[in-house]
Structure formats: C-alpha cells, structure tokens
Structure 1
Amino acid sequence: MVFYLSLVAAWAIGAWLRSVRAAEADRRRAVADATRAAERARIARELHDVVTHHVTAMVVQAEAARYVTAVPDRLDETLTAITGTGRRAISDLRHLLDVLDHDHEAGPRTPPGGELLPLVEQTRRAGQPVEFSEEGRPAEPTGSAELTVYRVSCRSH
C-alpha cells in the first residue's frame, strides 16, 4: 500500500511540476510576444518620425521653390537643398535599419543628420527664415532625446 501511495504521490508531484513549468513557459512566451510587439511599435514610430521629418522638410523646400523661380541662383540652391534632404532621409532610414541588424553594437546615438547647426543652414539655404539660439550648457548625449530635438526643432520653425 505504501508503495502505491508513494507512486501516486510521485505522479502527482510530477504532474504539478509539469503544469508549473508549462505555466512558466507560457508566461515567458507572453512576455516575449509583448516585448516584440512593443519593439515593433517603437521601430514603426521611429521610421514614421524619420520619414515624416524629411518629407515635411522637402515639401516646405519645394513650396519655397515656387517663389524663387524668377531667381535662378536661388532656385538652384532650393532644389539642391531638396535633393540633400532626400539623401539624408535615405541615409537616416539606412541608419535605423542598421540598428535592427543583429550584429549592430549598441552605443550612444547622435542625430542622423549631425548636429542642429547643419539643419539650420539647410533650412536657410532653402529660403526659409530660421533663428537658432542655445541657452545653458550642453548636456551629455542621451541618444533618442537628441534625435527628438533634431526632428522637433525643424517642425517648430
């Protein structure tokens, strides 16, 4: 009788352990799925920001080109600025896709187009009046915060 009771107890403990392990595996799978979904959403937002920023800049520059058609030198500068913005858009998208590469090493990220001053100059060359001022002392690079400042600065002017 003791043998059979030991056998049933061992079976019950084994069944309980299997159910606990299965529940833990399900929980881990759910966490992994949620993490993947959150990362996909973050990447989609980042791609949207990159594309929207550059396309908006190109539209503004193209609109400005309408008003400088009588001045060939200004028109050439504006069209050059549009071309440069398109090239930067492609470069930024490549940079973002490189981040998705499994062999990519994580490190501090800077704005894909460089610092803000080239962005200001690019916008001025396109014929838009831009004022740029800095207050305080520069903070340490924070990665995505710099990318956000880079994009928002162009939209706010």
Structure 2
Amino acid sequence: MRSPGWAVAATLLLSGCVAPAVDTGAFEQNALAALESAVSTTRVAALALDARAEERVTHAYANTVVTEAEDAIDPIEASFGVVDPPDRALDALRAEVLDQLADAGDLLAEARTAVRRGDSEAMASLADELRTVADGMEQRAEDLS
C-alpha cells in the first residue's frame, strides 16, 4: 500500500508543469483572452488616475481601483505565461503578449505609487501611458480576432 504522501508529492510536482496549447487556434484564443482582460484592467486604472489627478474622486477610491488593477494584471500574465505555444511560429506572439502585459503591470505599479504620493502630474502622465499600452493590446487583440 502506498503512503498518502505520494499523492501530495505528485500534486506538487504536476502543479509546476507548463503545458503546451493543443493547437494554434487554442493558443491564439488564450492570447486574445489575456489581452482583452488586460485592456479593460488598464483602461479602468487610467480613468481612475485621470479622475484623481483632477480631484474628481477621493484618494481612497483611486488607490483602491489602481491597486486592484495592479493585483488583477499579475494572474492574467501568469495564466498566459504558463501555456507554451504549440510550435515555434507562435513564439513571437507569446513574447509580444507577455511584453505588453509586463508593460501594463509596470505602469500600474508606478500608478499605485503616484496615487499614494498624491502626485497629480505623474497620475495624468501614467494615465496617458496606460491608454497607449491598452491601445497596443487592443490592436493586437483585434488582429487575433
């Protein structure tokens, strides 16, 4: 009889595995879903930054929205990042999507800091940068549709 520890060990070993997408279409759909989720997340944060920079919302509200956006981008990036492309032809797509997601995450981290510091100028600038990144992700998502 096997000890109960083998099931735990197998679960831990398998949970760290990265699986390839079953085909090109599945991988592209994965990329599309990640991009669409990230676009809405970054656009909401940009709106909150603009509103806070213009003192139309409270510090607490803007901080909550931007922090939650930053928290939301990590699982999007992680879930897309663990699926390997089924062939080398999709490596560039994977790299592009991961770069865009990382750019959004970096900007959201900067945005959180700007909100907490009350730096209206930085908030306005970061809102513009987030919209630019969102536009790029949206364009790439349209290309995949």
**Which protein has the bigger helix share?**
2
Greater relative contact order structure (CA < 8 Å, 6+ sep): 2
Select the structure of larger CA radius of gyration: 1
TM range (shorter): 0.3 to 0.5
